[in-house]
Structure 1
Amino acid sequence: MFLLRPFSLIWYLISTTRNTLYNIGLLDSVAFDLPIICVGNLCAGGSGKTTITEYLTRLLFKNNQVGVLSRGYMRKTRGYVLANHTSTAEEIGDEPLQIKKNFPTITVAVCEQRAIGVPTMLCDNPQMNLIIMDDGFQHRSVKPFINILLTEYHRPFYNDYLLPYGRLRESRNGVRRADAVIITKCPEHADFDKIKFKVWEYADESIPIFFSREVYKSPVNFFGNHVIIFPGTTGVTLSGIAHPEHFEKHCSSLVSIQKNFRFPDHYQFKESDLKKMNREFDEMKEKGKIIFTTRKDFMRLQHPGIINQVASLPLAIIPVEAEFIQEPDSPINFDNFIFNKLRQWKNE
């Protein structure tokens, strides 16, 4: 890995030059006539962006015409695609599809070039008055009204290094562009003060820092009905996500897990994968058996080539949501921060 350090220097020069060109105005950032909330991170890989995007959607969509714009990572299409009730993960990506399934009435679209995606979304839905831009922190061609940076509690940006030696897409100083920082996936007893002081080594101390955790909800089956888990049930996990440890640990708290079937993040499951898992699953001698998977993985398990095979499995899909931890001495919580910022927009 040490041999990658020189390449990280090249990455630093490229990313810093690009940011400087935006900062001094030689590269344009387009501002739009509606508030755009950007949810992003400095690191490549999962930091909980989708759960925070869904939290914001849940918080705001009842009183706003909300749209969600994403890149649509690992989709097979290119350019701008508007999600609908027949969209697949191959067409728009697993995470945008999950958001569309969870919030079927909102506008969800994918586009690599966000400065093209925003106006095209507005043409598709002229009533839209707020856009949440998922994974947009490095997409500086669009100027967000609220820039939210996420970093994982156990994998914070200030302990990481630039690609390819580490996971950082840009230098740690990128945090200075954020209007707020969310420390995601916090354990039960988080050291708030230690984290804050570490973040403030790179950011202004006036920046609000919030803490969130992931809460797993009751499992549902293929048809969306609640799954009843009886005593003595055993099972396996099936996942293709960035860091499956938390998910697997939660499943182990529900039943005795015999094996964890792990695949790369955003992996498109194949018929051969399911057949192999089924063979090992059938060899388990226990009577009550179940297969746990995430909602994100379930989006890809609905691929037309395998959906009939998936429908026959004893599947338990576990949804996950973000929950914010309110510090005892904190003068403001995350919801109020968002509401206050949006009031500022209306008053400007």
Structure 2
Amino acid sequence: MHNYLHIPLWPFSQLYGGIMRLRNLGYDKGLLPSRQFDLPVIAVGNLTVGGTGKTPHVEYLMRLLQSYKVATLSRGYKRQSKGFILADASSTAAILGDEPFQYHADFKDVNVAVCEDRVKGLEQLQQLVPELEVVVLDDAMQHRPVQPSLNLLITDYNRPFYKDYVLPAGRLREPRSGAKRADAVIVSKCLQSISTKEREQMVGQVQRYTSPGTPVFFSTFAYADPVSIGKAAAPTKNAVLLTGIANAEPLKNYLSSQGYTLLRHLSYPDHHLYTSDNLKELKELLQQPGYAGATVLTTRKDAVKLTDAGLLPLTLALPIFFVPIEVQFIAEGEKFDQLVLQHVQSRL
């Protein structure tokens, strides 16, 4: 291990990893129940704790599958509700969780549901949406009670799973061998300039842990011009960055490359639910010397919470913009699309 501070945690990682291996063995041998469904169920997940870019990839799939009747099913992490909920006009980020609420806000034709128990959630979706054709499971790699028909594993280019360790010494939720369940692997957050040689090297490393022949794809983030959700029509180059996400480094690097000067980064924990006090503090910061005329930049995930009904009046009074983001595949995007579309067509 490269960081000697991890050494005291290694015995705990071995214990946790052993428990996860036994759990996976129970599912693999049929000793623990795992349910298949009679429609395409595409799981998007990872082996690590947070920050691999699952949300933009789920959105990519929803755009790809727009000709089908699609639903997404998430746990609804940190939501202030319980049980199965199908999003409607009264839904909020607090009720659904921030990522499902983002899907609901941006994809009007997609049925967005949350449920801690994915088996019950899928059953409910099929009852309530009888014309349903495809379900995308968000963050479901470790939810073994559901057996997806297509399992997509995402790993961060900057911290690939094959260089990481099981919690608490590292950030893996389960041992690297969990990659064997993947039907395809996506290396996310790549530099657009990644070379063919480096991709080939990473494919070799990834395929040490996957089933033979598992395809490996590479994706990057494409950012667009900031979109106003506040009082200003156009952003200035002096900016305060406001985020409640797992890893803001790619966004910070992009903004720096676009000539923005980040005066300050207000970084909240992932899935943070903003309060009126947060926005009042932000307003006070913008009134301090050195911040005159500064723009506030944030993510789409944060923006859907900042424009919730309770905070909207405060947001509208501030120069806040979100930076749109989309996934782009490097080199083999058409092959990935065909893999997904052919799978869906074969299951209908």
Q: TM-score range by the shorter chain?
A: over 0.9
Q: Residue in 2 aligned with 1:87?
A: 91
Contact 2:286 2:292 in 1 (8 A): no
Which stretch of the first structure deviates more once superposed, 213-222 or 281-290?
281-290
Alignment of 1:164-313 (within 5 A): 164-190=168-194, 191-222=198-229, 227-229=233-235, 233-252=237-256, 253-285=258-290, 288-313=293-318
Relative distance call for 1:342 and 1:306 in structure 2 (3 A) is closer
Which stretch of the first structure deviates more once superposed, 270-279 or 63-72?
270-279
DSSP-derived class of the 2:228 partner: coil
C-alpha distance in 2, partners of 1:64/1:146? 16
The alpha carbon displacement at 1:267 in A equals 1.2
The alpha carbon displacement at 1:270 in A equals 2.6
1:149 aligns with 2:156: no
The alignment's TM-score, normalised by the length of structure 1, stands at 0.92
1:31 aligns with 2:31: no
Q: Residue in 2 aligned with 1:13?
A: 18
Contact 2:118 2:146 in 1 (8 A): yes
Aligned residue identity for 2:343: K
Q: Residue in 1 aligned with 2:346?
A: 344
Aligned residue identity for 2:161: F
Q: Spell out, residue by residue over 1:63-111, the C-alpha distance to the aligned partner (whole angstroms, 9 max, x if none).
A: 2100000111110111111111221111010000111111012110001
The alpha carbon displacement at 1:287 in A equals 5.1
Q: Give unpaired runs (5+ residues) of structure 1.
A: none
DSSP-derived class of the 1:175 partner: helix
The alpha carbon displacement at 1:285 in A equals 4.1
The alpha carbon displacement at 1:277 in A equals 2.5
Which stretch of the first structure deviates more once superposed, 262-271 or 156-165?
262-271
The alpha carbon displacement at 1:155 in A equals 0.9
1:333 aligns with 2:338: no
Equivalent position to 1:100, from 100, 104, 129:
104
C-alpha distance in 2, partners of 1:154/1:281? 33
Contact 1:222 1:311 in 2 (8 A): yes
Aligned residue identity for 2:218: F
The alpha carbon displacement at 1:309 in A equals 1.4
The alpha carbon displacement at 1:280 in A equals 2.1
Which stretch of the first structure deviates more once superposed, 238-247 or 262-271?
262-271
Q: Spell out, residue by residue over 1:31-67, the C-alpha distance to the aligned partner (whole angstroms, 9 max, x if none).
A: 1111100100000111111111000000002x21000
DSSP-derived class of the 1:98 partner: helix
C-alpha distance in 1, partners of 2:289/2:46? 41
Equivalent position to 1:318, from 310, 318, 323:
323
DSSP-derived class of the 2:227 partner: coil
RMSD: 1.9
The alpha carbon displacement at 1:2 in A equals 2.6
The alignment's TM-score, normalised by the length of structure 2, stands at 0.92
Alignment of 1:131-146 (within 5 A): 131-146=135-150
Corresponding pairs, count: 339
C-alpha distance in 2, partners of 1:324/1:14? 35
Aligned residue identity for 2:266: F
Aligned residue identity for 1:25: G
Aligned residue identity for 1:153: Y
Q: Spell out, residue by residue over 1:249-280, the C-alpha distance to the aligned partner (whole angstroms, 9 max, x if none).
A: 22232532211111111112233332322222
Q: Residue in 2 aligned with 1:68?
A: 72
Q: Give unpaired runs (5+ residues) of structure 2.
A: 1-5
Contact 2:232 2:318 in 1 (8 A): no
DSSP-derived class of the 1:283 partner: coil
Relative distance call for 1:227 and 1:52 in structure 2 (3 A) is farther
Aligned residue identity for 1:157: F
Contact 1:227 1:316 in 2 (8 A): no
Aligned residue identity for 2:217: F
Equivalent position to 2:134, from 130, 134, 153:
130
C-alpha distance in 2, partners of 1:166/1:338? 31
